[in-house]
């Protein structure tokens, strides 16, 4: 009975184990306790970390926010136009029995570089209240289908695609680097940056050149900045998804003909799921020896080196970030939990 009481007492004081105690030759009960601690850490590998996921009002970004909160991180949701989606992401995360939670919502239009900078300031000062940001997930982006022609419309679409898909992530990486390398809380420094690129960064098809070029450049930045930022303890990786139906493409993929067009090009025999990408992104956030990696998650499609032909797109209006514009100011919200 006395031995059982001693073990129970150790379990109650688990967070107060000193380094000197752990370095001592462990008893059988201490070894069992250490195993329990490792299991808990594996269940919530991001416990105590903070994370900003851009473009997380829906789709892949929403899935990543859920997965990171489940792994113990406190998550900040960013959106451009889908405020209702951002609020839904916030509510869903905090309704789940996750180890982490959603601690704020922030809006910014990434076509405006000033808003990107102001958003990052608000994240640090108004949401994190001076605490450090540990993980940045550059997920926000726009898909532009256009022909490269000698007209103002195609040039404007090109610039907007680069602003959202390349310049905004670069600016956020630069700001995160300055913050992560210089901010130390409880002996913790450094951080993780994960970029959502695309299989189009290495393979392209007709009328997707602006999108493909922006993602290829982001792949290159990922590799280069992984080397430059390593000295500050910062790892930089990228996830390159294949065909993953999300809310904005739900109508298209409801057509069996569209599914039938893509499925033969996927060796695994099915389209991707948001969870497939979220799981791989979590792996990049937690594997401490991965940096400069571009992880392709596409069901084997690029391995087959065959992508379906796409017809010339009809003329379209200027691309939007996650939907229609709602103004041009940065807004942040920290709802009560």
Query: Catalytic residue among 79, 98, 211, 229, which?
Result: 211
Closest to 275 in 3D by CA, of 238, 299, 316, 244: 244
* H/E element, 193: strand 191-196
- Angle between helix 209-229 and helix 168-182 axes, rounded to 10 deg: 10
The Cα–Cα gap between 187 and 203 comes to: 42
Virtual torsion, Cα 122, 123, 128, 134, nearest 10 deg: -150
The Cα–Cα gap between 68 and 50 comes to: 9
The Cα–Cα gap between 123 and 104 comes to: 9
Sheet holding 50-53, edge to edge: 294-297, 234-241, 191-196, 135-138, 50-53, 74-79, 102-107, 331-333
Burial of 155 from C-beta contacts in 10 A (0-12 / 13-18 / 19+): middle
* Strand pairing category for 102-107 and 135-138: unpaired
| 3-state class (DSSP) for residue 216 | helix
* H/E element, 32: helix 28-43
The Cα–Cα gap between 94 and 29 comes to: 36
Whether 211 is a known active-site residue: answer yes
User: Cα 252 vs. chain centroid, distance in angstroms?
Assistant: 25
* Distances 177 to 162, 170, 191, 221, 279 between C-alpha atoms, Å: 21, 10, 8, 13, 24
Could you give the residue numbers annotated as active site? 211
């Amino acid at each position: 009975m006395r031995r059982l009481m001693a073990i129970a007492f150790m379990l109650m004081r688990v967070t107060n184990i000193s380094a000197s105690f752990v370095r001592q030759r462990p008893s059988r009960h201490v070894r069992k306790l250490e195993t329990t601690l490792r299991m808990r850490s594996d269940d919530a590998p991001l416990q105590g970390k903070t994370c900003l996921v851009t473009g997380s009002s829906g789709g892949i970004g929403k899935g990543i926010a859920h997965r990171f909160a489940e792994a113990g991180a406190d998550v900040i949701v960013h959106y451009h136009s889908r405020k209702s989606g951002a609020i839904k992401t916030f509510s869903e995360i905090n309704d789940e029995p996750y180890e982490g939670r959603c601690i704020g919502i922030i809006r910014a239009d990434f076509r405006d570089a000033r808003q990107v900078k102001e958003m990052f300031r608000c994240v640090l000062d108004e949401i994190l209240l001076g605490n450090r940001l540990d993980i940045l997930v550059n997920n926000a982006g726009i898909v532009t289908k256009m022909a490269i022609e000698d007209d103002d419309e195609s040039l404007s679409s090109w610039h907007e695609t680069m602003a959202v898909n390349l310049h905004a992530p670069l600016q956020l990486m630069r700001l995160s680097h300055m913050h992560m390398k210089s901010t130390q809380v409880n002996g913790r420094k450094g951080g993780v940056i994960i970029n959502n690129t695309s299989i189009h960064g290495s393979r392209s098809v007709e009328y997707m050149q602006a999108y493909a070029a922006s993602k290829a450049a982001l792949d290159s930045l990922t590799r280069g900045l992984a080397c430059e930022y390593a000295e500050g303890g910062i790892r930089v990786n990228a996830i390159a998804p294949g065909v993953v139906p999300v809310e904005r493409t739900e109508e298209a993929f409801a057509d069996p003909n569209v599914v039938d067009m893509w499925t033969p090009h996927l060796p695994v025999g099915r389209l991707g799921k948001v969870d497939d990408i979220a799981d791989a992104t979590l792996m990049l956030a937690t594997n401490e020896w991965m940096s400069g990696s571009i992880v392709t998650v596409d069901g084997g499609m690029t391995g087959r080196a065959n992508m379906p032909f796409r017809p010339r797109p009809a003329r379209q209006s200027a691309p939007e970030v996650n939907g229609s514009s709602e103004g041009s100011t940065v807004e942040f919200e920290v709802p009560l939990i």
